[in-house]
Chain A
């Protein structure tokens, strides 16, 4: 569990606004960057208002995020971003399916359960394969035969 305070989000929003404003105002060609400059100025103003209201309203809201529970899916997302194109979509998404099913299954897990998830995953991925490769004719990145 990690606790994130509202102030942390307000500061994140402020830093984001400042960075985007620097990117917009620091770029050449004022004509092309006029609209983004107006938008980032509004973002700066709104983030300042958020900061003012945070202290004015004493909005000390704290949100808890169950990062431990979310870590398998977050790791999977990062894994897919870096390897999806090389390992192929069918192979890497099959790993995603299996991992989500296994890690987030609320009851006791054993080899029998893992084989069951493998069966469900194979059926689901076969449907996806026929839907995308045959019906929609989408050629996704592949790895060996998958």
Chain B
């Protein structure tokens, strides 16, 4: 029960203020169509660089939690999911709004997000230290394979094609080798002096997630759907009804928790799987798609239940459970915090304060979500050209502010523009980002493994012997085979 020892740390004036600002900002950003939680967290990371590690992580955690829930506002009122995690919410949320029950739908959304979210954070609190202890037994070969597993799993789950996903991951791993080799001190691939410091993680994160979004915003003609008026609805009644839908809550929270624990899966899969499950097991299947509250409750409890567990593999092994968690890993690294057991020993205070703040953020999300969701309509109405201009300028200033280096801004703009063109053909940003983040971990452990292996039977034997190595290799292969299977299924449906 170590987390209790640091619970009071959350309740300082500065931390509460950051939580409130993060939650309100996250809800409004989440409600803006086109602003995904991943992009919101990526844009915010440079700002947290100037805060203490605790405060920075609290801000990022609050934004992560609330953008996922906030995305449901535009899903319900505009039929445009604010984030991929809210795709399933559209199916019954929008019909409910169309039937004059938009406030009721928003109530269910935030209440079930809260319940799912709290369950997810409890899983994070109780599972993480156990897994962190297991991670202590990992040697260089295991850590090397874990880093590779992180790339393969996100390549297979977050890409339209497994080959393109793996290629993106490989690009990320290669980009991470630019600059000085940490072990031998040799300068590698510095074709231009601006690359001598290597690729800055923040520049890559902001560029790969924000710039393609800006370009596609400006390229598309976005037609604004009709927005529904909010009716008056008693909050207590909504609570009572929501709690009575225990089956939908259990299905959503359980599915979200399990999917969150699977590295790379993310909220979109959690929402869609739980929606399919509740629809399959419901006695009134015919109401789904026409405004069935169970559809919203299951989808929203699932995508928020995913948030906590997605951080379990991240904090213990450095393998993120979702694309947003991958960006959050960048946030940890810029504060000098490396995933693993050290987080729960050397940096226990920072880590537990962050985890506890996620629990408090769920309450904030519920309170502010219920009361300010009406305000989000103004954000949703923000014209695309203002949004694109603001994101571009924030991306430029944010990237520059980390190292005061103009080269980072050039790298950010170059990577982002290239990513926009590549994304048209099924290449995705998440595997590249994870490759850049996990690249140094993979290479350092590979080099250490090589030094050890040189005194034994060689590197191949060292990397492929032992049950733990074989298990992680098997997981890598399973994730690739899953991607191959997914591609085959997609071809069948084409």
The A-contacting residues of B in range 312-335, CB under 8 angstroms, are none
Return B418 CB to nearest CB of chain A, in Å.
10
B167: which A residues are within 8 A, CB to CB?
Answer: 13, 43, 46-47, 50
A61: which B residues are within 8 A, CB to CB?
Answer: 425
Return A133 CB to nearest CB of chain B, in Å.
10
| A101 touching B386, Cβ below 8 Å | yes
| B393 touching A35, Cβ below 8 Å | no
Query: Is B238 in the interface zone, CB < 8 Å from A?
Result: no
Return A135 CB to nearest CB of chain B, in Å.
8
Return A5 CB to nearest CB of chain B, in Å.
10
Residue of B at shortest CB range from A124? B390
A15 to B341 Cα, complex, angstroms: 42
Given A46-B170, A70-B218, A63:B425 Cβ within 8 A: yes
| B218 touching A43, Cβ below 8 Å | no
A74 to B215 Cα, complex, angstroms: 9
**Interface magnitude class on chain B:** 35 or more
B421: which A residues are within 8 A, CB to CB?
Answer: 4, 65
Interface size on A, residues (CB 8 A): 58
A13: which B residues are within 8 A, CB to CB?
Answer: 167
| A100 touching B218, Cβ below 8 Å | yes
Query: Is A114 in the interface zone, CB < 8 Å from B?
Result: no
| B413 touching A77, Cβ below 8 Å | yes
Return B202 CB to nearest CB of chain A, in Å.
13
Return B150 CB to nearest CB of chain A, in Å.
15
Query: Is B6 in the interface zone, CB < 8 Å from A?
Result: no
Residue of A at shortest CB range from B393? A93
Query: Is B342 in the interface zone, CB < 8 Å from A?
Result: no
A51 to B411 Cα, complex, angstroms: 29
The A-contacting residues of B in range 169-215, CB under 8 angstroms, are 170-171, 173-174, 177, 181, 183-184, 186, 188-189, 214-215
| A69 touching B425, Cβ below 8 Å | no
| B188 touching A136, Cβ below 8 Å | no
Contact with A along B406-429 (1 / 0, CB 8 A): 100110011001000110110000
A141: which B residues are within 8 A, CB to CB?
Answer: 406
| A104 touching B385, Cβ below 8 Å | yes
A121: which B residues are within 8 A, CB to CB?
Answer: 389
Query: Is A110 in the interface zone, CB < 8 Å from B?
Result: no
Contact with A along B426-459 (1 / 0, CB 8 A): 0000000000000000110011001000000000
| A39 touching B177, Cβ below 8 Å | yes
Query: Is A18 in the interface zone, CB < 8 Å from B?
Result: no
| A65 touching B218, Cβ below 8 Å | no
Query: Is A143 in the interface zone, CB < 8 Å from B?
Result: no
Q: Which of B287-295, B357-365, B396-404 contacts A (4 or more CB under 8 A)?
A: B396-404
A84: which B residues are within 8 A, CB to CB?
Answer: 396, 406, 409
A43 to B165 Cα, complex, angstroms: 11
B166: which A residues are within 8 A, CB to CB?
Answer: 42, 46
Residue of B at shortest CB range from A36? B177
Query: Is B50 in the interface zone, CB < 8 Å from A?
Result: yes
Query: Is B388 in the interface zone, CB < 8 Å from A?
Result: yes
Query: Is B163 in the interface zone, CB < 8 Å from A?
Result: yes
Return B494 CB to nearest CB of chain A, in Å.
10
Contact with A along B367-386 (1 / 0, CB 8 A): 00000000000000001111
Return B152 CB to nearest CB of chain A, in Å.
11
A66: which B residues are within 8 A, CB to CB?
Answer: 219
Given A89-B396, A104-B385, A128-B393, A65:B410 Cβ within 8 A: no
Contact with B along A55-82 (1 / 0, CB 8 A): 0010001010110011001100100110
Residue of B at shortest CB range from A8? B425
Return B55 CB to nearest CB of chain A, in Å.
13
| A140 touching B400, Cβ below 8 Å | yes
Query: Is A23 in the interface zone, CB < 8 Å from B?
Result: yes
| A35 touching B446, Cβ below 8 Å | yes
B186: which A residues are within 8 A, CB to CB?
Answer: 29, 32
Among the listed A63, A100, A138, which residue makes an inter-chain contact with B392, where contact means beta carbons less than 8 Å apart? Answer: A100
A105: which B residues are within 8 A, CB to CB?
Answer: 383, 385
Given A74-B417, A93-B396, A32:B188 Cβ within 8 A: yes
Residue of B at shortest CB range from A103? B385
Interface centre among A46, A65, A74 (most CB of B within 10 A): A46
Residue of A at shortest CB range from B413? A77
Residue of B at shortest CB range from A85? B406
| B163 touching A53, Cβ below 8 Å | yes
| A140 touching B397, Cβ below 8 Å | yes
Return A102 CB to nearest CB of chain B, in Å.
8
Contact with A along B262-289 (1 / 0, CB 8 A): 0000000000000000000000000000
A43: which B residues are within 8 A, CB to CB?
Answer: 167, 170-171, 174
A23 to B191 Cα, complex, angstroms: 10
Among the listed A20, A32, A40, which residue makes an inter-chain contact with B181, where contact means beta carbons less than 8 Å apart? Answer: A32
Supply 4 further A-B pairs (C-beta < 8 A) apart from A35-B446, A69-B219.
A35-B177, A73-B218, A74-B417, A77-B413
4 smallest CB-CB distances across A and B, nearest first, come from A104-B385, A32-B186, A100-B389, A138-B401
Can you list 13 A-B contacts (CB < 8 A)?
A32-B188, A53-B163, A57-B491, A73-B215, A81-B414, A84-B396, A100-B218, A100-B385, A101-B385, A106-B383, A125-B393, A132-B397, A138-B401
